[in-house]
Amino acid sequence: MPAAVVHVSGLTKRYGKTTAVSEVGLEVLDGEIFGLIGPNGAGKTTTMECIEGLRVPDAGRVSVLGLDPVRDVTAVQRRIGIQLQEAQLQKRIKVREALALWSSVYGTRDDGTRLLEQLGLAGKADAWFMTLSGGQKQRLFIALALIHDPELVFLDELTTGLDPQARRAIWDLVRGIRDRGKTVLLTTHLMEEAERLCDRVAIIDHGRIVDIDSPLGLVRRHCPERTLMIETADTNAVDALARVAGVERVTREGANVVVRARSVDVMTGVIQCLADQRIAVTDFRTFVPNLEDVFLKLTGHSVRQ
């Protein structure tokens, strides 16, 4: 099993009388994409900023690459890359100039040309920051986070406000970071983003970790239910399918017979029943719960925007 590059235990952060994060504990493994998921205001950014060393926790322990991000801030900052949620640059700084500035700060000799090509920004090297689209700005911030070849990359609400095409392009870039042997810790309130990108996720709500697992693992453990929508005109379908082991309820809704079950294991029995009873089917759809369903079940409310 890969080693943990981030270890957090008992992390607590307060702002006055408000506790933003309470006793958070998690581990991020080497080479994975780990997501902190939850609604805005859940404590994702505060947790990440404490791990990055940008905020000092009121309690708990944080270790990043074996170092304390507060005490060993200089050593940590040289080994991590950070993309901030509210990042901005001067309006009239050029893309090439921004990369040169970041390169000089980290003392590297990389002028960023290769990164611009990989991120699809080679044609924008001499463009002012203010002329870039939202997706281009995000790709530039990724380039700035990677300019010093960090071991661990932090991405905070990376695709918020982007159109679907730009969002998917950014997802490909994040996968590329992992494929180059880096570890990624990201935050998002977009459940589809977490499902598509993350190897493991931690659900956080009201400053507390609710559960940690792979997206599929969370769905399997908390929402094993399956709904099958079978389009058939056979009048015997409801009674026949109701007798299948594992089926909880069967109803007819217009042209469809709706089968609800507690487990995916019922699929074999349903298919066998359709074949044995020679029930003609014109459409067969399976509705599988997702991370948003898990979030609703664990927290009692839907994802807040």
Q: Are 35 and 188 in contact (CB under 8 A)?
A: yes
**Residue at 25: amino acid letter:** G
The answer to whether residue 162 scores a pLDDT higher than 60 is yes
State the pLDDT at residue 279: 96
> Of 68-77, 130-139, 143-152, 157-166, where does mean pLDDT reach its minimum?
157-166
Contacts 24+ apart (CB under 8 A), 122-128: 124/95, 125/94, 125/95, 125/96, 126/94, 126/95, 126/96, 127/94, 127/95, 128/91, 128/92, 128/93, 128/94
Q: If you write DSSP's letter for every residue of 120-152 in order, what string do you get?
A: T-GGGTTSBGGGS-HHHHHHHHHHHHHTT--SE
State the pLDDT at residue 304: 57
Average pLDDT over residues 193-205: 96
The answer to whether residue 60 scores a pLDDT higher than 60 is yes
pLDDT, tens digit, 9 for 90 and up, residues 280-290: 999 999 988 99
Position 114 confidence tier, pLDDT thresholds 50, 70, 90: confident
State the pLDDT at residue 118: 82
The answer to whether residue 71 scores a pLDDT higher than 80 is yes
pTM of the model: 0.86
What whole-number percentage of the chain has pLDDT above 70?
98
For domain 224-288, which architecture applies? Answer: 2-Layer Sandwich (3.30)
Q: How far apart are CA 10 and CA 24, in angstroms?
A: 5
Position 39 confidence tier, pLDDT thresholds 50, 70, 90: confident
The answer to whether residue 187 scores a pLDDT higher than 60 is yes
Q: Where in the chain is the domain with CATH 3.40.50.300?
A: 4-79+151-220
The answer to whether residue 305 scores a pLDDT higher than 60 is no
DSSP structure class, residue 87: -
For domain 4-79+151-220, which architecture applies? Answer: 3-Layer(aba) Sandwich (3.40)
pLDDT, tens digit, 9 for 90 and up, residues 1-30: 789 999 999 999 999 999 999 999 999 999
Where are the alpha helices (H) located in the chain, listed in sequence order?
44-52, 73-77, 95-106, 113-118, 134-146, 164-179, 191-197, 215-222, 237-242, 266-276, 291-299
- Please choose, from the candidates 31, 36, 32, the residue with its C-alpha nearest in 3D space to the C-alpha of residue 48: 36
Q: Where in the chain is the domain with CATH 3.30.70.930?
A: 224-288
Phi–psi pair at 184, nearest 5 degrees: -125, 130
